[in-house]
Amino acid sequence: MSSLTNEVKKSAYLAGFDLVCLSSAAPLAKDEARYKEWREKGYAADLQYMIREEPRRWVPQDLLPEARTVITLAVNFFSGARRMESKRGFGRVARYAWGKDYHEIVKARLEEWVKNLDILAGRSTKNKVLVDSGPLLERALAHQGGLGFVGKNTLIISRKLGSFIFLSEVLTDLELEPDILIEDEKKDACGACKECIADCPTGALVAPRQLDARKCIAYWTIENKGGIPEEMRSGIGDWIFGCDICQEVCPYNGLARQTQWKDLLPETGAGPYLSLLEVLSLKSDEEFKTRFKGMPIMRAKRVGLMRNACVVAANQKYTEAVGNLVSIVEREPDEMLKAHAEWALKQLS
């Protein structure tokens, strides 16, 4: 088993994955309790995919009945300066969305790599590939396998790369040797640091390792499909898609280094900034899809991205956007978007 385990890991690194760890596919009892407590507090907001009962995200066998081992693979997506400066007339984009859609990029390579398991095992194996798209407590598994620890910002933090990493998993029927987590449970890996909690402008980190999505900039600018409450708008600042503040201030991200995955570099996608005038000028869903096809920005949809741009324009006092905002009020059929444009105009006047 040890020999096969080593070959599986070696193969994954050769395929370009930055970190690999193995853990047992046994149900995660402790993490089940933590997850249920978080859900019951209402911290999932209206994210139905986060609160649905089945399949049980702490039981890998609900996704693959034959699962014996979980292989967790991480991809470094960091590129650019550790901290992004504000840029008048532009909205900031969270780093994970600078390049092409990682779901597709990582999944394609992972599905190709999984074919190696049959060769290495000398038999037909049963596997399931997940790239941030399945109901699984992936951070718990990554921690259990020693890939990283869960920081006070709720993210997996690698002591080698920091937190700018994508996680993906392969559930397999192979019996592989799990990595042994060596950790002093009485010692917090973040130490006394609370930079992420102190610097979150909307107070979304209500306690160490406790994120309330109802206060999170990333939730309101990406996942939320309705209006953004007025009391939340000023805290959004100039983030037009997602937010990186709790990662930018994390000392561990001093370890971040340039990604080797070319499809995740900013020149392949939206990049770190989006022009407010360009976004506010989008006239149709087709135009939006043409501009952002194959990029994570697609998740916000046209109306959502334009809604965000209205908020950023108001926060920046970007009066150059007045003409675009007036045009939205006059021609836009979506009442929610029109209301945000009207609100932005009031702030600018």
What's the 3-state SS for 99-157?
Answer: CCCHHHHHHHHHHHHHHHHHHHHCCCCCEEEECCCCCCCHHHHHHHCCCCEECCCCCEE
pLDDT (0 to 100) of residue 184: 67
Cβ distance 58 to 31 under 8 Å? yes
pLDDT, tens digit, 9 for 90 and up, residues 128-177: 999 988 899 999 999 999 999 999 999 999 999 999 999 999 999 999 99
Cα angle at 2 between 63 and 12, to 5 degrees?
Answer: 60
Residue 173 CA to residue 168 CA, distance in Å, equals: 17
Domain ranges (residues) in the chain = 2-78+98-172, 195-256+265-348
**How crowded is the C-beta side of 9, counted as CA atoms within 13 Å?**
18
DSSP 219: I
- 208 Cβ neighbours under 8 A, 6+ residues apart: 152, 188, 190, 194, 197
Show the beta-strand stretches assigned E in 173-259.
205-207, 210-211, 239-241
pLDDT, tens digit, 9 for 90 and up, residues 293-329: 999 999 999 999 999 999 999 999 999 999 999 999 9
pLDDT, tens digit, 9 for 90 and up, residues 243-294: 999 999 999 999 999 999 999 999 999 999 999 999 999 999 999 999 999 9
Residues classed as catalytic: 132
**Is the pLDDT confidence value at 203 over 70?**
yes
pTM score of the predicted model: 0.94
Show the beta-strand stretches assigned E in the chain.
19-24, 69-76, 90-93, 127-130, 149-150, 156-157, 165-172, 205-207, 210-211, 239-241, 273-275
* Sign, Cα dihedral of 58, 63, 65, 69: negative
pLDDT band for position 63 (cuts 50, 70, 90)? very high
pLDDT (0 to 100) of residue 1: 65
Residue 302 CA to residue 34 CA, distance in Å, equals: 35
| Alpha carbon separation from 317 to 45, 49, 313, 347 (Å, rounded) | 30, 36, 6, 8
pLDDT, tens digit, 9 for 90 and up, residues 13-47: 999 999 999 999 999 999 999 999 999 999 999 88
